Chains A and B, each alone.
Chain A
Amino acid sequence: MVAPERTGTADPGEAPTATPPPAPAEPPRARLTDRIGSVEVLAALLILLIALREPLAGLLSAPSLATWTTVFVSVMVQAVPFLVFGVLLSAVIAVFVPRSFWARALPRHPALAVPVASAAGVVLPGCECGSVPIAGSLIRRGVTPAAALAFLLAAPAINPIVLTATAVAFPANPEMVLGRAVASLIVAMVMGWLWLRLGRTDWIRLPRRPDLDDARRAVAFWSAVRHDIVHAGGFLVIGAAAAASINVLVPERWLRVLADEPVLAVLALAVLAVLLSICSEADAFVAASLSQFSLTARLAFLVVGPMVDLKLISMQTGIFGRGFAARFAPATFVVAVVVAAVTGMVLL
């Protein structure tokens, strides 16, 4: 048999599974690519994986790989409730809260809206996985990006649960709680104002979502929920995998070398916070265990972690676009390290 010529006149039934051109005029049943859709691929993949279960489990039984899988699965399991409830709230904002509400709730001047939004973050308990889709919805509903971004940074860093956890983790140093709250609030507001001054709206590329304007609110609501969970969740998987890799690959003893240099110690823990991507409700306990580091270095860990980490960068890339994440994450990192260092010098 000769190699089939790929011409426009080829029998549609034998068309290779190349990217289907938008051809709405064609009757949909005639094309193979329409009959083998994602559902069929998914089913085949699942059957294959179930069939290969034994060798797969054997492969993952080596201690390091088993630990990787445990950490990966547990980051995901831990994040699922926060993700789902964050997405529900963001869908409510996107579908049910009218645009006029935000105009009334936030001060008209963007520079004043930033501190208000940061303070609003304090009230809302949640972790970073939930706040990314919420911030996306806020921007979509006409909230000024500067305020939405200040909220994005403040919400996971300084809420009652996180501050209580910090107080429990540092029973002998209650000033850590104050330091964390003050430094995080300052970083959120500085980043908001910085965005007002330097940020460009076209860096944020929110995907067009015509389904949200569906007249039937229930349809729009569930569409938003499905989309955001799949979307933010998919990027969360990337972040969780990265965090699990760091967790397994970087033993703590490497850090001891850095702990004795005061400046390096701050930088090392700030970078570690980015890499480990621990949930903001738990990072205080990890910081407490890094007892060979100075309190200022550990404060940097607590301030940077909820604002910049692999999981967050991955989710921000997904929701706001690559151009945004490439600028926002490094800027936040620098501001957070500087503010944490200064706060540490003053308070601790």
Chain B
Amino acid sequence: MNRQAQACVLLLLGGAVLRASLSDLYLRYVKEGLRPFLIAASLLLIAAAVMTLWYEMRPALRRSTPAADETHDDHDDHGHAHHEPRVAWLLILPALGLLLVAPPALGAYAANQSGTSLSTGGLPEYPPLPDGDPATITVYDYAVRAVFDKGQSIGDRRVRVTGFTVAGVDKQPILTRMRLSCCAADGLPTKVGLSGNTPSGLADDTWIEVTGRYTSRMGRDPINDFEIPYLEVESWRQVPAPRDPYE
């Protein structure tokens, strides 16, 4: 691949990342905190592309040899096959993945791949729930308080959590939310079983908002044998997917 084409690929990649980070698209793949770095990095990619094109287009600045293409560029005389020009083509893939396909956030399929995950060990004391009735908390917060605190910091308060549904072993829906620590490659599910007024007839990956109370019922995740707490559902409703699909 010659330098002009490399510049086009860089422009494409920079543009794709910039577009994704200016909308909410990037939240499907990485954490919100990465956004400024994504914007800065994509601007630098675009700058590298523009500078390359600038030097290529101005003959005075071009290298003295007329061959600014792959037959001479980076040609090494050690005899080891150095595929610099060819590997550059692969960079089109992530750019097009973002621009054309824009794959969805991790859902039920990924949740079934790994066991429910809570950080090992609980805190000595849990802070009180946020104000309001019901108190809006994350699925992870509920699961941690239910498993490690045995629901003491929840008491008989009503809580409201939002997640998507995954069919459990007994076909009952399990409320799930993926948690990222860095990017979707390390996404891990938090699973909460539903009892009481359980939703039924929902396809996997349906986003629901559930209001309910703590129950001491516990299940086990068949994948890693970890505890899955339950939530006694009072009411539930289907909701659109949240802006940030992860917690």
Question: Which of B's residues lie within 8 Å of A, judged by CB?
Answer: 1-10, 12-13, 17, 20, 26, 28-30, 34, 37-38, 40-42, 44-45, 48-49, 51-52, 55, 61, 63, 66-67, 69-72, 74-78, 80-85, 87-94, 96-98, 100-101, 103-110, 112-115, 117, 119-121, 123, 181-186, 188, 222-226
Tell me the nearest residue of chain A to B104, going by C-beta: A66
Task: Given the known inter-chain contacts A37-B69, A71-B185, please indicate yes or no for A219 contacting B55, CB distance below 8 A.
Answer: yes
Q: Which residues of A contact B183 (CB under 8 A)?
A: 74-75, 77-78, 279, 282
C-alpha spacing A322/B78, complex, angstroms: 13
24 A-B pairs with C-beta separation under 8 A: A24-B67, A42-B5, A42-B9, A46-B96, A49-B96, A49-B100, A60-B101, A66-B109, A73-B101, A74-B184, A75-B184, A77-B30, A80-B41, A171-B121, A226-B3, A226-B10, A230-B84, A234-B89, A277-B185, A278-B186, A282-B181, A286-B181, A289-B114, A322-B80
Of the residues A80, A209, A226, contact of B42 by C-beta under 8 Å: A80
Closest to B50 in A: A222
A219 to B20, CA, bound (A): 30
Pairwise interchain contact A73-B103, C-beta atoms closer than 8 A: yes
B181 touches A285 (CB 8 A): yes
Chain B contacts of A214 at CB under 8 A? 63
Enumerate A207-255 residues with CB–CB distance to B below 8 Å: 207-209, 211, 214, 216, 218-219, 222-223, 225-227, 229-231, 233-235, 237-238, 240-241, 243-244, 247-248, 251-253
- Please judge, given known A-B contacts A75-B183, A234-B91, whether A291 and B113 are in contact too, CB under 8 Å: no
Q: Could you tell me the dominant secondary structure of chain A's interface residues?
A: helix
B5 touches A39 (CB 8 A): yes
* A53 to B, closest residue via Cβ: B100
- Collect the chain A residues with CB atoms within 8 Å of residue B188's CB: 285-286, 289
Which residues of chain A have a CB within 8 Å of any CB of chain B?
Answer: 20, 22, 24, 28, 37-39, 41-42, 45-46, 49-50, 53, 56-57, 60, 63-64, 66-67, 69-78, 80-81, 83-85, 88, 165, 169-173, 205, 207-209, 211, 214, 216, 218-219, 222-223, 225-227, 229-231, 233-235, 237-238, 240-241, 243-244, 247-248, 251-253, 256, 276-279, 281-286, 288-289, 291-292, 318, 321-323
